[in-house]
Amino acid sequence: MASSTQTSGRKRLLISGGALLAVAALSTAAFFADSANINLFGSADGDGIGGGNNFVLETQNQDSSGVADGTWVRANTDGTAVDWVLPDGDTLTPGESTTVEIPLRNNSDNLAGDLKFKIGTVAGKTNEAELWNALRITVEVKKDGAASWTKLADEVTPSSLAAAQTFLNDLATEEEATAKVTVGIVSTAGNDIQGQEAFPKFIVEAQSK
């Protein structure tokens, strides 16, 4: 009688189970992991996002002779202002005027800006009505290197300049300009302004673009 070998049902089950485990192991090993890390900067120089968006408008102080002293300063820190004296402004009479030329600079590395101006009042000072209404203000502007002045306001009242007026469109980075501000008293002003005081403030507003 020929002999034959049979594999028991239990052995078959074990073999089958071992085969399944091997397939599972091979399946797990077939997956590999990797990653790509990308640093995001604001510029090719490695600046962070927002690192070049500082927008700075500067002016200068006045020296003892009544002109700009050559040192650039900011004039908006904590609401402070730069003080400029109008030559002979304390002795102005009807029909007279006085002028100052105030430098401005866009000291921004990357951002150009548009400028507007308006007339306000000096904090803590009282403007007496008759003299305030008798003041006439002229504002002219010239970019550095320009041949002529552009007149923006011509002998108008301070109150009419309480809202922002167009000043300069597109002052480039590191570009300079000069504002010429003339303050006078209208010739028809009467004796009621004698001894009165007024304190106008020339305000320049800059907006990046």
Which of 91, 87, 90 is closest to 100 using CA atoms?
87
What average pLDDT does range 120-127 have in this prediction? 94
Question: Distance between CA atoms of 184 and 49, rounded to whole angstroms?
Answer: 48
Give the burial string for 166-205 (b: 16+ CB within 10 Å, else e). Answer: ebbeebeeebbbbbbbbbbbeeebeeebeeeebebebbbe
| 171 has pLDDT over 60 | yes
Looking at residue 11, what is its pLDDT?
52
| 28 has pLDDT over 80 | no
- Over residues 42-89, the pLDDT tens digits come to 989 888 998 888 999 999 999 999 999 999 999 986 667 899 999 999
Instruction: Give the predicted TM-score (pTM) of the model.
Output: 0.80
- Over residues 136-160, the pLDDT tens digits come to 999 999 999 999 999 999 999 999 9
